[in-house]
Amino acid sequence: MAKSPVKASALRMVNVEKYFGSVCALKKINLEVGHNEIVGLIGDNGAGKSTMVKILTGVFPPTSGELYIAGRKVDLRSYNVKQAHAHGIETVYQDKSLGEKQVLWRNFFIGREMTLPFGFLDVKKEKEIANEIMVNTIGFRGKGITVDSRVSKLSGGERQGVAIGRAMHFDAELIILDEPTVALSLKEVAKVLNFVHKIKEAGKACIFITHAMADVYEVSDRFVIMDRGEVVADIAKKDISLKALDEFLLEYSHGMKDKAER
């Protein structure tokens, strides 16, 4: 495991479980993400990936277990989206990170507005910083795209770029990418992977959730494979080739299928 000796791991989940009524969605999850490590989290639909994301980002609490962010233990009773942001966890969703009809500068600061007295927005400052993020952090060279453009004018890859840039600006310890390349063309996927490289360069950690193997292989340092609410494998990139990983997953899903039929 690529754990840095000086810095505490970005994230540690200890025996996290989640039940919805009597249905067990997550079973004793133990997961660690090192400092500046990019972890590819792979699993089929229903593997428990989104449940895990929602716990990490404070949408709902786990039934039991412990959560450490940058070495600090998180009080799960008071944990919510704002707390997650304060702890440095930022999430980029497949399709619900940005308000489509809104202009870009609003999207950068929604939920964390820079305000003047009485709650009025400091539009000038927000636009300045938004422009700074677009040009310097995410290197936007999109034609005719400014901070006043509406999100609906952006391509799918550009949208993910904005969401990733926003996450990086707010000094995230850990950026969670929840299936960021689903429904994108190959060209747009390449753009998103480029943004993920920037996360690594900036010294941040990242969980890249997907079921598209080829995308995640290129950018990840380590792979965690989930199935039916459990972590079933944890493999460093140097120990496995893309082909072997692919075969492993195929075998695994067939194996499970056989077992189920038996």
Partner 1 sequence: MKQRTSLFGFLGGIEGLAVAGVLILLYAVLIITATPVFTGYRIYMSFLQTVPPILVCALGLTLVITAGEIDLSFPAVVALSGFIFAWVFKNFHSPLAPWVGFILALACGALVGYVNGLLVAKIGVPSIMATLASQFFWYGVTILLANGLQLDIAGVTTNIVHTIFVGRVFKVVPMQGFWSLGLTIFLWFILNRHKFGEEIMFIGDNANVAQVMGIDVAATKMKLFIWMGVIAAFAGLLLTLEINVFYPTQGGGFLLPTMAAVFIGGTSIAGGLGSMFGTLFGAYIIGSLEAGIVATTISGYWVQLMEGLVMAASISLNAVLAAGNVSNFSTRIQRWFKPMRANHNGEESQKDDTVSR
Alpha-carbon distance of 156 to 153, in angstroms, equals 10
The reply on whether position 98 binds partner 1 by CB under 8 A is yes
The reply on whether position 81 binds partner 1 by CB under 8 A is yes
The reply on whether position 82 binds partner 1 by CB under 8 A is yes
Alpha-carbon distance of 78 to 106, in angstroms, equals 27
The reply on whether position 77 binds partner 1 by CB under 8 A is no
Comparing CA positions, the residue from 14, 16, 129, 31 lying closest to residue 62 is 16
Alpha-carbon distance of 126 to 129, in angstroms, equals 5
Comparing CA positions, the residue from 145, 152, 139, 58 lying closest to residue 102 is 152
> Among 15-23, 32-40, 78-86, 200-208, which window interacts with partner 1 (CB under 8 A)?
78-86
Residues 6+ away with beta carbon under 8 Å from 109: 121, 126, 129, 130
Q: Collapsing DSSP states into helix, strand and coil, what is residue 219?
A: helix
- Smallest gap, in angstroms, from Cβ of residue 216 to partner 1? 22
- Smallest gap, in angstroms, from Cβ of residue 155 to partner 1? 5
Q: Tokens standing for 137? A: 């952090």
- Smallest gap, in angstroms, from Cβ of residue 114 to partner 1? 10
- Smallest gap, in angstroms, from Cβ of residue 214 to partner 1? 19
- Applying CB under 8 A, among 23, 78, 101, 261 the residue interacting with partner 1 is 101
Which parts of 185-244 interact with partner 1 (CB under 8 A)? 185, 187-188
Binding site for partner 1 (CB under 8 A): 57, 59, 80-82, 85, 91, 93, 96-102, 106, 110-113, 115, 119-121, 123, 143-146, 148-150, 152-153, 155-156, 185, 187-188
